[in-house]
Structure 1
Amino acid sequence: MILLLSAKDDESVKLVVPELVERGAEFLWWDPGGYPADSAISSRLTGGSWRHVLRIDGREYDCSQFTAIWNRHPTHPHAPESVADDNHRKYVEKIATILLLGWEHTVESRWLPARTMDIIRTQNKLVNLGVAAALGFTTPDTLITNDDEDLIPFWAEAGGELIAKEVEFVEFRIDGEDHAHYTTPVSRRRLTDRHRLALSPAILQPYVKKAIELRITVVGDQVFSAEIHSQGSRATRYDYRHYEQTFSTYAVHRLPDDVERRCLELVASLGLHYGCIDMIVTPEGEYVYLEINPAGQWGWIETMTGLPIAASIAEWLIAAESHR
C-alpha cells in the first residue's frame, strides 16, 4: 500500500490520485494534521525494531506494509476541539509533532521526496547552494547576513545591481491579509533602510540578467524542464511568482546533458528522490543555479506544458513494490 501524506485540499495529490487508480494501486491518503484529533498511532518496540499501527476511521494500518510514502504537504497536528485552553492545545500539538517526527524516522519505506527533517535540511539555502556549487553548478556570488554594515560594500561590488530575498519564502498575515516577501532589487534608496536587516537575515546576490527562467522537476531519475518567459512584464522581471500564470508564458525546455546530469546529482547528493530546481538562462546562454525546493509545486507546470509529472510520481510510488 502507498501512503500519501498531505492536506485533503492538495491539488497536486488530486492530480496523482487518478494516475494511481488507473494503475490499480492501493493507497491511503492521510493528513497528519488530523493527529491526534481523529487518528491514533501505537508504536511498540519488540525484537529490536519498532512496529507501528496507524488507526483512522475505525481501521488499522500496519505501517510496515507501506511500500512507499509521499511526504507531500501535510498540515501540522491539531488537538481535539475538546481541548479549549490555548496553552494546553500548544502542548498537545507540540508533543504530537515530536512523536510524528520519530514515527517518520522509524517507518522503513521509500520516501518521496524524503522525511520531514531531511526536507527542512535540504531546502535551507546555505545547504543546497553549497552542494550545488560543489557539484559544478554556476551559482551567483552570495552573501547571507543580518549585519547592515555588510550591505553597502556588497552593493558596491555588484555595481548597484543587487537583489535581496528571504532565507525562506514565508507567508505572513497583516490585518487579516496574506503577504510574502518576493525577490526585490536593492536600490540606492533602499540602502537607507538597511537597519532592518538586523531583524531578519537576507540573501543578497548580484542581479543576474535573464533570457528565460527554468523550473526543473526531478522525479527519481527523470528530469522535466520547463521554460518560464518572465521578462515580458515588470511584474515578473525579478520574481516570476508575481502573477506567474498571468504575465508569463511556458514551454518545454531541452537541458544540456551536463546540466541535466548535475540536476540528478544534486537531488541524489541531498538524499532526495524529488526536487524542483530554479535556474536562470542568461542572454549569453549560461545556466545559473538559484535554489532547489524539495517540496516544490509542479501542478501548474504540467498544466501549462503537458509534461507528465503526475504520471512520473505515480510510477515512482508504484515501483516501490519491486524494492521490498
Structure 2
Amino acid sequence: MSRGVPVVRFDPSDVGECLSFSAWFGVSAASLAGQLRTPSRTANLEEVRAVYWRRPTWPHFEHLDHADARYAAAQVRHGLGGTLYALPNCRYVNHPLRNHAAEHKPMQLAVAERFGFTIPPTLISNDVDDVRAFIAEHDEVIYKALRWTPYQRADGVGLTTWTEPVTAAEINESVGVVPHLFQARVDKIADLRVVVVGEQVFPVRIDSGLLDWRADYDALTYQVTTLPDGMGKAFVAFLEHFGLASGSFDLALDREGRLHWLELNPNGQWGWLEVKTGLPISAAFAALLELGAAP
C-alpha cells in the first residue's frame, strides 16, 4: 500500500463467507469479467494487473463426508483456481501451472545442463541393480526425495525427509516400489541460495558444515556473494524457459570454487535471507508486481 497500489489479499481456503467471486465468460468484449470479494476488499477481475501466488491453501470441507468433500474441493480448485489461472493481461509471480511444470526434478536437471550448469551425476530409478551399480561407481552418494510431501506421526508431530548419505548395503528390494533420486555427493565447503526476481539476482552463501543446511537453521551463517560471469543471466534464462518470473536456486560450492546445480524451488523461501543479509528482495518483488503484465 505504501506504493499507492491497491491490493487484495486472500487465501482460497477462505471460500464461502470470507471469499466469494463471480466470473463471466463470453458476455462482453473482455475475455473474462467479474469480481472477487473479501470482507474488506473487492477486485474487478478484468482489472487485475498482477498476482503473487504464494503457497495458498485449499479448503478441505471437514464437515462433509469424504466423497462430498473431494467433490467440493475439486470445484474450488477448478472453479476459483481456474478463474485465477485465466486472468487476462496479468503478471503472475508465478503462474501456478508454470510452477507445477518447473517443480519436477528430472526436468530441472535436463534443462539446467542445457543452460550450462554443472550437474552432479544423478540416477533416478526403481531398479535395484542399477541403483547398486550407481552407488558402487561413485565414492559417496546421497538420496533425496523427488517431491516433498507432508508427514505426521500418530501423535501429530510433523516429519520431513532430509538429503541423506546412502550406501549399497542399505539398498534392498523396497527400492523397486517407487522411483528414487540418487546423486553423487559434492565435496562442498558451502551452499548458495540464489533468489531471482525478474532480472534481479540475489546470491547468498550459506555456511553450515551440514549435508542439508535446512536441517538446522541455527547452525547457518550468511554472506552476500557474487556469481561467475554470465551465471546470473543463465538463471534468468532458465526461469524464462519455464515461463517463471522468480525462483530460488540451490547450488553447492566445492573446494575448487566450482558451483554445482542442486535444484530450483519455483516458490521457494526467501524472507529470512532478507532479514539475515539486508538484501532488498521484498522491494524487488513489489516492484515486479507493480509493473503488471509484461508488454
**1:158-197 alignment, distance < 5 Å:** 158-159=138-139, 161-175=140-154, 176-191=156-171, 194-197=172-175
CA contact (8 A) 1:267 1:274 kept: yes
Would you say 1:202 and 2:142 are equivalent positions? no
Q: Deviations over 1:149-183 (max 9, x none)?
A: 22110101113x11000001222112111101110
- In structure 2, do the counterparts of structure 1 residues 154 and 74 end up closer, same or farther at CA, with 3 Å as the change threshold? same
Give the 3-state SS of the residue equivalent to 2:214 in structure 1: coil
Q: Give the alignment partner of residue 301 of structure 1, picking from 270, 273, 276.
A: 273
Q: Deviations over 1:161-206 (max 9, x none)?
A: 1100000122211211110111010124323xx3232333221110
- In structure 2, do the counterparts of structure 1 residues 56 and 78 end up closer, same or farther at CA, with 3 Å as the change threshold? farther
Give the 3-state SS of the residue equivalent to 1:22 in structure 2: coil
Q: Give the alignment partner of residue 63 of structure 1, picking from 22, 39, 45.
A: 45
Query: What's the C-alpha RMSD, in Å, of the aligned pairs?
Result: 1.9
Give the 3-state SS of the residue equivalent to 1:30 in structure 2: coil
Matched AA of 1:212: A
Matched AA of 1:77: P
Would you say 1:255 and 2:237 are equivalent positions? no
Would you say 1:44 and 2:24 are equivalent positions? yes
Matched AA of 1:276: S
Corresponding residue for residue 212 of structure 2: 239
Corresponding residue for residue 11 of structure 2: 31
Runs of 4+ in 1 over 6 A off after TM superposition: none
Cα distance, 1:242 vs structure 2 = 0.4
Further displaced range: 213-222 or 89-98? 89-98
Matched AA of 1:114: N
CA contact (8 A) 1:34 1:77 kept: yes
Structure 2: gaps spanning 5 or more residues: none
Corresponding residue for residue 214 of structure 1: 192
Further displaced range: 257-266 or 270-279? 257-266
Would you say 1:269 and 2:248 are equivalent positions? no
- In structure 2, do the counterparts of structure 1 residues 35 and 255 end up closer, same or farther at CA, with 3 Å as the change threshold? same
Matched AA of 1:151: V
CA distance in 2, matches of 1:190, 1:85: 42
Cα distance, 1:36 vs structure 2 = 4.1
CA distance in 2, matches of 1:106, 1:250: 39
Give the 3-state SS of the residue equivalent to 2:32 in structure 1: strand
Number of equivalent positions = 292
Q: Deviations over 1:280-313 (max 9, x none)?
A: 1110111111111110000111111111111111
Q: Deviations over 1:8-43 (max 9, x none)?
A: xxxxxxxxxxxxx33222111111111246322222
Matched AA of 2:208: S
TM-score of the aligned structures, taking structure 2 as reference length? 0.92
Corresponding residue for residue 134 of structure 2: 154
- In structure 2, do the counterparts of structure 1 residues 120 and 196 end up closer, same or farther at CA, with 3 Å as the change threshold? same
Cα distance, 1:86 vs structure 2 = 3.1
**1:278-289 alignment, distance < 5 Å:** 278-289=250-261
- In structure 2, do the counterparts of structure 1 residues 287 and 135 end up closer, same or farther at CA, with 3 Å as the change threshold? same
Give the 3-state SS of the residue equivalent to 2:213 in structure 1: coil
CA distance in 2, matches of 1:52, 1:87: 30
Question: Identity rate of aligned residues, in percent?
Answer: 31
CA contact (8 A) 2:8 2:43 kept: no
Structure 1: gaps spanning 5 or more residues: 1-20, 232-236
CA distance in 2, matches of 1:114, 1:59: 22
Cα distance, 1:316 vs structure 2 = 0.9
Q: Give the alignment partner of residue 101 of structure 1, picking from 81, 105, 108.
A: 81
Matched AA of 2:83: W
Would you say 1:227 and 2:227 are equivalent positions? no
Cα distance, 1:115 vs structure 2 = 1.8
Matched AA of 2:230: D
Cα distance, 1:47 vs structure 2 = 4.0
Give the 3-state SS of the residue equivalent to 1:87 in structure 2: helix
Give the 3-state SS of the residue equivalent to 1:74 in structure 2: coil
Q: Deviations over 1:215-245 (max 9, x none)?
A: 00000010000000022xxxxx2110001x2
